[in-house]
Amino acid sequence: ETYAMLHAPILAHRRLVPDDAPLELAVVIPTRNEAGNVAALLTALEAALGDIVWEAIFVDDDSPDGTADVIREIGRTNIRVRVLQRIGRKGLASAVVEGMLATAAPVLAVIDADHQHDETLLPRLYAAVRMGGHDVAVGSRYIEGGGVGQWEARRHAGSRWATALAQRLLGRSKMDGPMIGDPMSGYFAISRDAFREVLPNLSSVGFKILLDILASAPRPLNVVELPYVFRNRTVGESKLDLMVAFEYLELLLDKTLGRLLPLRLMLFAVVGGLGLAVHLAVLGIALGTGLTAFATAQALAVGAAMTFNFTLNNVFTYRDRRLRGLRLVTGLLSFYGVCLVGAAANVGVGALVYDAQHVWWLAGVAGAVIGAVWNFAASSVVTWRR
Ligand code: GDD
Ligand code: MN
Which atom of ligand 1 is the closest one to the Cα of 185?
A: 39
- Which residue has a Cα nearest atom 17 of ligand 1? 112
What does pTM read for this prediction?
0.87
- Which residue has a Cα nearest atom 35 of ligand 1? 186
Distance CA 337, CA 330 (A): 11
Q: Which ligand is nearest to the CA of 237?
A: 1
Q: What local confidence, expressed as pLDDT, does residue 202 receive?
A: 96
pLDDT band at 210 (very low <50, low <70, confident <90, very high): very high
pLDDT band at 3 (very low <50, low <70, confident <90, very high): low
- What are the pLDDT digits (tens) for 123-182? 999 999 999 999 999 999 999 999 988 778 888 888 889 999 999 888 766 677 788 999
Which residues form the pocket of ligand 1, taking CB atoms under 6 Å from any ligand atom?
Answer: 30-32, 34, 59-61, 89, 91-92, 95, 112-114, 116, 184-187, 207-208, 230, 238-240
Q: What local confidence, expressed as pLDDT, does residue 5 receive?
A: 56
**Least confident span in 82-86, 152-156, 244-248:** 152-156
Distance 32 CA to ligand 1 centre (A): 8
Distance CA 335, CA 343 (A): 12
pLDDT band at 19 (very low <50, low <70, confident <90, very high): low
Distance 38 CA to ligand 1 centre (A): 14
Which atom of ligand 1 is the closest one to the Cα of 207?
A: 37
> Is the ipTM here above 0.95?
yes
Distance 233 CA to ligand 2 centre (A): 6
Q: What local confidence, expressed as pLDDT, does residue 18 receive?
A: 59
Q: What local confidence, expressed as pLDDT, does residue 346 receive?
A: 93
| Cβ contacts of 76 within 8 Å, gap of 6 or more | none
Mean pLDDT within 56-67: 97
Q: Which ligand is nearest to the CA of 140?
A: 1
**Least confident span in 53-62, 146-155, 285-294:** 146-155
pLDDT band at 15 (very low <50, low <70, confident <90, very high): very low
Distance 93 CA to ligand 2 centre (A): 14
Distance 56 CA to ligand 2 centre (A): 18
**Least confident span in 13-27, 262-276, 347-361:** 13-27
